[in-house]
Structure 1
Amino acid sequence: MDRRLLSTLAHQDHPVAAPLSDATVQRLLERALPRGDERLLDLGCGAGEWLIRALSGRPLAQAEGVDLSPSALTKAREASAAAALDDRLTLHEQDAARFTAQHDFDLVLSVGSTHAFGGLLRTLTAAREHLAAGGCVLVGEGFWEKEPTPAALAALDASPGDFADLAATVGRVTAAGWTPVYGHVSTADEWDDYEWSWTGSLSRWALDHPGDPGSVTARETAAAHREGWLRGYRGVLGFVTLLLRRS
């Protein structure tokens, strides 16, 4: 089964692809969109959940999303149509790292998709190319809550240098010329809800579609992910979402 389709199925119960609660997402959007008439861009939008939530209740806002996953973009288009947002949401099926926009944006998002750009700082460099004067970037990135164990590194297929601790992560951002104007560190409850939702959605789909050729892959992927989380990186990997402006 295609990796992008697996991700789409795994996020059915937690459409925001990051360890963030609905209340946290709402609060971040309120801080990032104080006027309500902003133009937004999500680089790695997935099923468009951030953009749909941002546009709902903000009739003057407009948004664009970029992603490579056909299945995720199909869900985004369906959700956009259901919410009557088609005229204000434009979706692009292409590599977010190579996306060229026709105009600048008041808010550029990349939450949980910095890997698409090769890391946090490269993501910020890409976001800056799309940012209007005085605009903000909302970016989400992992960090080490504690010294990574061999089990955590194996589960994440990571090396110790892939992430820093929280202070060093923020320090890298400020050294690159950005100022945090708000932030949120995901709680243990947010992490647990995200991981149980991820593995549970995929497992349920596999159980409900036993005859599908992808059901074995889905079940095995969910089991391996759950094992890696519970025995590996739970309590080791953290997640911070930062609202940034250029210094």
Structure 2
Amino acid sequence: MERTRISALAHTHHPIAAPLADAVVAGLLERALPPGEGRVLDLGCGGATWLRRGLDLRPGLHAVGVDLDAQTVERARRDAAADGLGDRLALHAADAREFAADRSFDSVLCVGATHAFGGLLPTLAAARRHLAPGGTVLVGDGFWEREPDRRTLDVGFAADEYADLATTVDRVTAAGWTPVYGHTSTAEEWDDYEWSWTGSLAAWALDNDADAALEAATRHRDEWLHGYRGTLGFVTLVLRRTWPDDEPSGHR
């Protein structure tokens, strides 16, 4: 069964593909989006849920989303049109790493899709190429709540895949960004996300006699419960450039 199909089914009841409660998503968007008119870009937008919610919050906003999966992008186009947002939302089925940069976006989003760029810092470097002066980046990525043990590593993580929260933020600030807000996902948010992910996929599998989907749901649940639960954290940061991009990194 295709990974994109599995992901779409698993996110049926939790369309934000990250361990974030709806109220938290709304609060993050309030802080990250321009207050009036403006342009926002989502790199790795998936079903464009972040963008659609942002457009609902800001009637003067126009948005662009980029995602590699053409089927997901087409489905998002249909959903946006049904919601009356089609004239304010442009979606592209393309590699986000190769999307043309023009530094015209007031906000750039990438939550839960940093793997597309090879990690957090490469994601921020990509976002910077699209960001207008004074703009804001909203980025979400994993970190280690505690040092990963053998159980976590055995489900496919590498020990150096993430750092602890303090080191993660230190790396971000050293790269020239200042956090102006952040949210660390709670254990409750993680549990809700994982139970929704595995439960939605399992329910569909049982209803449709789909052994492959049920196996995928079971495997994911086992990896979470026996592997990374309580070890893998998730932080979402609202960032601005610490200094103008035309000044040297030593400027304060």
- TM-score scaled by length of structure 1: 0.95
- Cα deviation, 1:14-39, whole Å, max 9, x if unaligned, reads 00000000000000001112513221
Structure 2: which amino acid aligns with 1:60? G
> Partners of 2:99 and 2:119 in 1: how far apart?
17
> Partners of 1:118 and 1:147 in 2: how far apart?
21
Instruction: Identify the residue that residue 91 of structure 1 maps to in structure 2.
Output: 91
- TM-superposed CA distance for 1:65, in Å, is 0.3
> Partners of 2:12 and 2:75 in 1: how far apart?
10
User: Is 2:215 aligned against 1:202?
Assistant: no
> Partners of 2:153 and 2:113 in 1: how far apart?
19
- TM-superposed CA distance for 1:217, in Å, is 1.7
Which deviates further from its counterpart, 127-136 or 72-81?
72-81
Residues 1:111 and 1:43: Cα distance change in structure 2 (over 3 Å)? same
- Cα deviation, 1:135-186, whole Å, max 9, x if unaligned, reads 011000100000101111222x111100000000000000011100000000
- Cα deviation, 1:56-100, whole Å, max 9, x if unaligned, reads 142210000000123321331122012100000000001111111
- TM-superposed CA distance for 1:102, in Å, is 5.2
SS in 2 for 1:190: helix
8 Å Cα contact 2:103-2:129 kept in structure 1: no
Gaps of 5+ in 1: none
Structure 2: which amino acid aligns with 1:206? A
- TM-score scaled by length of structure 2: 0.93
Instruction: Identify the residue that residue 190 of structure 1 maps to in structure 2.
Output: 189
Q: Which runs of structure 1 show a deviation greater than 2 angstroms over 4 or more consecutive aligned residues?
A: none
| TM alignment of 1:16-31, pairs within 5 A | 16-31=16-31
SS in 2 for 1:161: coil
- TM-superposed CA distance for 1:108, in Å, is 0.4
Instruction: Identify the residue that residue 235 of structure 2 maps to in structure 1.
Output: 240
- TM-superposed CA distance for 1:101, in Å, is 4.3
Residues 1:102 and 1:131: Cα distance change in structure 2 (over 3 Å)? closer
Instruction: Identify the residue that residue 247 of structure 2 maps to in structure 1.
Output: none
Tell me the C-alpha RMSD between the 2 structures.
1.1
- Cα deviation, 1:90-124, whole Å, max 9, x if unaligned, reads 00001111111456100000000000000000000
User: Is 2:11 aligned against 1:11?
Assistant: yes
> Partners of 1:167 and 1:50 in 2: how far apart?
26
| Aligned-residue identity in percent | 62
8 Å Cα contact 1:5-1:71 kept in structure 2: no
Say how many residue pairs are matched.
242
8 Å Cα contact 1:144-1:166 kept in structure 2: yes
> Partners of 1:154 and 1:104 in 2: how far apart?
43
> Partners of 1:202 and 1:245 in 2: how far apart?
37
> Partners of 2:203 and 2:170 in 1: how far apart?
41
8 Å Cα contact 1:8-1:71 kept in structure 2: no
8 Å Cα contact 1:184-1:240 kept in structure 2: yes
| TM alignment of 1:1-247, pairs within 5 A | 1-101=1-101, 104-155=104-155, 157-210=156-209, 215-247=210-242
Gaps of 5+ in 2: 243-252
SS in 1 for 2:110: strand
> Partners of 2:143 and 2:119 in 1: how far apart?
12
SS in 2 for 1:16: coil
